Structure 1
Amino acid sequence: MTGKCTVTGGGGFIGAYLVRRLVHDGWDVTVVDNMVRGDASRFADVADSVRLHSCDVRDGEAVAEAIRGNDVVFHLAAINGTENFYKRPELVLDVGLRGALAVVEACRDTGVPDLVVASSAEVYQTPATVPTDENVALMLPDSLNPRYSYGGSKIVSELIAFNYAQDHFRKVQVFRPHNVYGPDMGWKHVVPQFILRALACEERGSRTFSIQGDGSETRAFAYVEDVVGGILTMYARGDHRQVYHIGNDEEVSIRRLVELTGETIGIALDIEPGPEAAGGTPRRCPDISKMRAIGYDPQIALAEGLARTTDWYRDNRNIAPANELM
């Protein structure tokens, strides 16, 4: 399946992997990204085959110009990273909400028939059931906690996609990625932060590794190439006006993630529990039965994906912000 498409946020982590995969599969690809957080070097190997519109996703006229004549828009542009949720909630909300409106209206005005929107596992916060399927109620537990700026923006983005778009599109889909990781994912996420801190422990000859909480929290980490494959499987085989979980169902505790990180590097870390972060979620693991039913099957186990990711961060740690190495 090929055609003409745009990826908003194509300089971001998942977006760039998606851009590269689309180009390799034969798509005609445009990227919309102002590169404030994204980086065009992430898709440098296919840059000659990509049209880049360096515009803000909130600029509806610029977005409309970029997507005119497309078969589908993959809307991934957002301000991600847990640190940003706490420190820059206004920007997280502004880009999330106004970006979704601008993209949906631009698609509608230019006649783009298909729209794929990236949501997040953050829409559940603390889900009532784990593993969590797509029918569990979405939750915003505390509007005073800035952490929920991101989850709240994604809930509204889903509403915008499905309701503004219901009479104007051939296919509208939302995917909720769960804890995606991999090489070159940035510096403000748990996996790269753990890797860099473990590498610093190795360098200093120290084994003490402090964490938030006692490490019993669980997540199910999904390797980025599996997730990109899932997005394209969903688009090709999934239904109109549907939500799909894309991730892995291999649940692991944060304590075990630290242990695996140390094992990958070759050191045994002494885990030191600390205060829990406000708004943390005890367990997160998706039920991916709906995706499995249309042919999705993640291939990269955590140990393998963590090894690949560690190799990249070991080789590129010189470009990490100084405070990430502490």
Structure 2
Amino acid sequence: MAKRFLVTGGTGFIGAALVKRLLKDGHSVRVLDNNSRGAPRRLAEVEGAYEMVEADIRDADAVAKAMAGIDCCCHLAYVNGTEFFYTKPELVLDVAVKGMVAVLDACRAQGVGDLVLASSSEVYQTPPVVPTDESVPMLVPDPLNPRYSYGGGKIICELMAINYGRTDFDRVAIFRPHNVYGADMGWEHVLPQFVLRLKALAAAQPTGALRFPIQGDGSETRSFNYIDDFTDGVAAIIAKGEHLGIYHIGAMEEISVADVARLTARHFGRELELVPGPLQKGGTPRRCPDIAKLSALGYAPKVTLAEGLPKLAAWYDANAHLAPVKG
């Protein structure tokens, strides 16, 4: 049955992908975003098919108006990007907390009983068990480390959604994405940064192995989730997710940072000489989700990193001129 969705953060990377998926599935969509980090170009192919509300998620009046007539709110608006965790922690927390309050108040005021919330794998920091399931405790190990502004904000959002959800909502479902990637995903993430750094190194050194500095020794691992697989996961949660259910969206293909770098370098036809370096404080040596809970709803990721990364690399190679100029 077709529903009316509000997607906050809908011009962001994963927000735009979700908007396109909802429209493809026959739903009507309203987007709320201030485009501070989102990009309307991500929705160019569906222009005219959705309603746009340009507003800050912290603007309670604007959020309440945007929520009118909605069946389900998908709340994704947040400040993402590892660089921002360290450089603008107060902004990360301001958007997290005030945005969550605005969404919860708007849902209650407008009678919207269905809320789907985007959380993050960062709520675990360094998980004690890998692969990690949804029952592993959430953690802020050091409140003085600005990195935890992001994970801490997500923990607050989850607690608020769950506890308001107990009495004021028909359903609150939460998803925790694990390293979602794809073309036009932003500029502050490891995969785009690898591509742009390798592009510059390859141009400066036309032949031979490229010396490529990395954080850590390269043995650190991550698992990556291609954007099309991610939207399959959200669609499964929207269709079948239970009230107060929490679900990982990801893939269980764990890969070392060294192999990620080498895989990225293939786009440029180059070999690498990896140069180890210090890890940023707060980084975790391993991250890989257990996705059994979402798999029980029919979710099955299809795109391996070897298949998806070349698409990302080609986009950033061709669109490097769009990168923001740093002051």
Q: Which category describes the TM-score, using the shorter chain as reference length?
A: over 0.9
Structure 1 partner of 2:50:
50
How far the C-alpha of 1:264 sits from its partner, in A, is: 2.9
Contact 1:264 1:306 in 2 (8 A): no
How far the C-alpha of 1:49 sits from its partner, in A, is: 1.0
Matched, 1:270 2:273: yes
The unaligned stretches of length 5 or more in structure 1 are: none
What CA distance in whole angstroms lies between the structure 1 residues aligned with 2:273 and 2:324? 25
Code of the aligned partner of 2:105: E
- Most deviating of 40-49 and 115-124: 40-49
Code of the aligned partner of 1:185: M
What CA distance in whole angstroms lies between the structure 2 residues aligned with 1:231 and 1:84? 25
Code of the aligned partner of 1:3: K
Query: Given the alignment, which residue of 208, 213, 226 partners 2:211?
Result: 208
Code of the aligned partner of 1:95: V
Q: Deviations over 1:279-326 (max 9, x none)?
A: 1101000000001111000011001110111111111111123569xx
What CA distance in whole angstroms lies between the structure 2 residues aligned with 1:87 and 1:7? 27
Q: Deviations over 1:181-230 (max 9, x none)?
A: 10000110000000111111221126111011111111001011111110
Structure 2 partner of 1:11:
11
Code of the aligned partner of 2:42: R
Matched, 1:163 2:183: no
Query: Given the alignment, which residue of 294, 316, 321 partners 1:291?
Result: 294
The two structures have a TM-score, normalised by structure 2, of 0.97
- Most deviating of 38-47 and 76-85: 38-47
What CA distance in whole angstroms lies between the structure 2 residues aligned with 1:48 and 1:68? 20
What CA distance in whole angstroms lies between the structure 1 residues aligned with 2:192 and 2:97? 28
What CA distance in whole angstroms lies between the structure 1 residues aligned with 2:190 and 2:120? 16
What CA distance in whole angstroms lies between the structure 2 residues aligned with 1:323 and 1:200? 16
Matches within 5 A, 1:1-326: 1-205=1-205, 207-322=210-325
Q: Deviations over 1:84-142 (max 9, x none)?
A: 00000000000011101110110011001200000000000001100000000001000
How far the C-alpha of 1:72 sits from its partner, in A, is: 0.3
The unaligned stretches of length 5 or more in structure 2 are: none
The two structures have a TM-score, normalised by structure 1, of 0.97
Q: Deviations over 1:210-252 (max 9, x none)?
A: 0111111110010111111100111101211110000111000
Contact 1:108 1:165 in 2 (8 A): no
- Most deviating of 44-53 and 91-100: 44-53
Code of the aligned partner of 2:110: T
What CA distance in whole angstroms lies between the structure 2 residues aligned with 1:323 and 1:64? 35
Identity of aligned residues (%): 53
The alignment's C-alpha RMSD in Å is: 1.2
- 3-state SS in 2 of match to 1:131: coil
- 3-state SS in 2 of match to 1:30: strand
Contact 1:182 1:306 in 2 (8 A): yes
What CA distance in whole angstroms lies between the structure 2 residues aligned with 1:321 and 1:94? 23
Q: Deviations over 1:144-171 (max 9, x none)?
A: 0000000000000000101112212111
- 3-state SS in 2 of match to 1:48: coil
